[in-house]
């Protein structure tokens, strides 16, 4: 008879950590080498305040996951960032729906929420899913109820600015409906560029003990179909951590990333001995190879019309930010400097 073992007792018993070590051997094994007290925090370009804050908290001795969550909470709470948390652009019904996930290297545990409404800091709720339930992902109304049960305050996340942009988008959709065109042209060209637009923050960390963690949080695609879930709350796509190897996270076209389990792939390439940059670029190449099967996503030359970014740090403290297309940046704090760096890339636009 099979013995049933719950996820929580698996982790609590320490069997999880033991089996992780058994299965973690890589071809070249470079992922197994420890850092020598190196600390690194990396994030997407919108995360400069997050990398700064997380490093400060690591210096104060905080757990690496708590440090990166506190970092991204700054961006989630900022109404000016229209891609994450409060002030994020809404779905096609004008409602802000958020996705977030977290993963903690030392316990190989993770949690996520998707399509959650009215909660400003979904990354904190994702951590509670990890710590206070036997589940990995809770969505929609269930996620909201869970957050409220834990004392989170429900609030309207739609700022006036986001509402006006959504309204103009709606008024411009068609001239054959009952919505008149927008009265003012202001914002109009911006609104066009918002369609099919998106943004997210991922933040990965290696602390001085060699422990890793990652968090990804987003309001997802602007004007998305209500209920659409992107890659950010999907562990293995929006982020992945193996405490013996490294941490990776992603921003960009979520569907391409979900269909290739991108962040998991990056970590597996690092396990095979590739540097973070090589691992990320290899994963991007895989996405492009598979995107040949999605002709609607390709331009006339057969190149992707979309972008995906990976951010990764390995156990030795090597790190990278990468993108399909030239021109992207990522934020890094190596304990000495907090700076934006250009991402490595595969293609340059003519």
Applying CB under 6 A, which residues contact ligand ASP? 198-200, 218, 220-221, 230-232, 251-252, 254
Alpha-carbon separation of residue 61 from 31, 57, 73, 248 (angstroms): 24, 6, 18, 22
Cβ closer to ligand ASP: 205 or 256?
Answer: 256
Smallest distance, Å, CB 93 to ligand ASP? Answer: 17
C-alpha 130/C-alpha 109 separation (Å) is: 7
Cβ neighbors of 47 (< 8 A, separation 6 or more) are 71, 72, 75, 201, 202, 203, 331
Smallest distance, Å, CB 308 to ligand ASP? Answer: 8
Q: What is the 8-class DSSP label of residue 84?
A: S
Q: Report phi then psi at 59, rounded to 5.
A: -60, -30
- Confirm whether 200 is a catalytic residue: yes
Q: Report phi then psi at 201, rounded to 5.
A: -120, 130
Smallest distance, Å, CB 84 to ligand ASP? Answer: 9
C-alpha 239/C-alpha 270 separation (Å) is: 14
C-alpha 59/C-alpha 119 separation (Å) is: 29
Cβ closer to ligand ASP: 58 or 98?
Answer: 98
Cβ closer to ligand ASP: 207 or 231?
Answer: 231
Smallest distance, Å, CB 201 to ligand ASP? Answer: 8
Cβ closer to ligand ASP: 101 or 109?
Answer: 101
Cβ closer to ligand ASP: 47 or 254?
Answer: 254
Smallest distance, Å, CB 220 to ligand ASP? Answer: 4
Of the residues 51, 83, 159, 200, only one is catalytic, namely: 200
Question: Is the Cα dihedral 155, 221, 185, 327 positive or negative?
Answer: positive
Smallest distance, Å, CB 230 to ligand ASP? Answer: 2
Cβ neighbors of 252 (< 8 A, separation 6 or more) are 198, 200, 306, 307, 308, 309, 323, 324
Cβ closer to ligand ASP: 221 or 319?
Answer: 221
C-alpha 149/C-alpha 134 separation (Å) is: 16
Strand order of the β-sheet with 212-218 is 137-139, 109-116, 98-104, 212-218, 201-206, 40-44, 329-333, 338-342
Residues tagged active-site: 200
């Amino acid at each position: 008879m099979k013995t049933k073992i719950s996820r929580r007792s698996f982790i609590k018993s320490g069997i999880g950590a033991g089996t992780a070590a058994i299965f973690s051997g890589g071809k070249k094994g470079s992922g197994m080498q420890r850092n020598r007290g190196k600390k690194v925090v990396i994030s997407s370009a919108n995360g400069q305040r997050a990398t700064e804050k997380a490093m400060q908290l690591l210096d104060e001795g905080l757990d690496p996951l708590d440090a990166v969550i506190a970092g991204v909470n700054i961006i989630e709470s900022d109404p000016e960032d229209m891609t994450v948390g409060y002030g994020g652009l809404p779905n096609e019904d004008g409602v802000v729906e958020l996705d977030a996930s977290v993963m903690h290297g030392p316990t190989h545990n993770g949690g996520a929420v998707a399509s959650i409404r009215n909660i400003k800091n979904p990354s904190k709720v994702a951590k509670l899913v990890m710590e206070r339930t036997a589940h990995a992902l809770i969505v929609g109304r269930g996620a909201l109820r869970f957050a409220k049960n834990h004392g989170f305050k429900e609030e309207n996340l739609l700022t006036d600015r986001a509402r006006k942009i959504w309204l103009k988008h709606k008024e411009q959709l068609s001239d054959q409906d009952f919505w008149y065109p927008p009265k003012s042209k202001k914002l109009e060209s911006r609104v066009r560029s918002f369609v099919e637009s998106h943004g997210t923050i991922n933040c990965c960390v290696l602390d001085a003990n060699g422990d890793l963690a990652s968090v990804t949080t987003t309001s997802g695609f602007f004007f998305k179909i209500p209920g659409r879930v992107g890659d950010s709350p999907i562990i293995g796509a929006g982020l992945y951590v193996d405490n013996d190897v490294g941490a990776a996270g992603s921003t960009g076209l979520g569907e391409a990333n979900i269909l290739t389990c991108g962040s998991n792939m990056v970590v597996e390439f690092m396990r095979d001995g590739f540097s973070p940059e090589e691992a990320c670029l290899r994963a991007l190449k895989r996405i492009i190879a598979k995107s040949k099967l999605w002709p609607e996503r390709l331009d006339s030359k057969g190149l992707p019309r979309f972008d995906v970014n990976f951010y990764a740090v390995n156990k030795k403290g090597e790190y990278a930010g990468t993108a399909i297309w030239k021109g992207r940046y990522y934020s890094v704090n190596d304990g000495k400097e907090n700076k934006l760096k250009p991402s490595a890339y595969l293609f340059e636009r003519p």
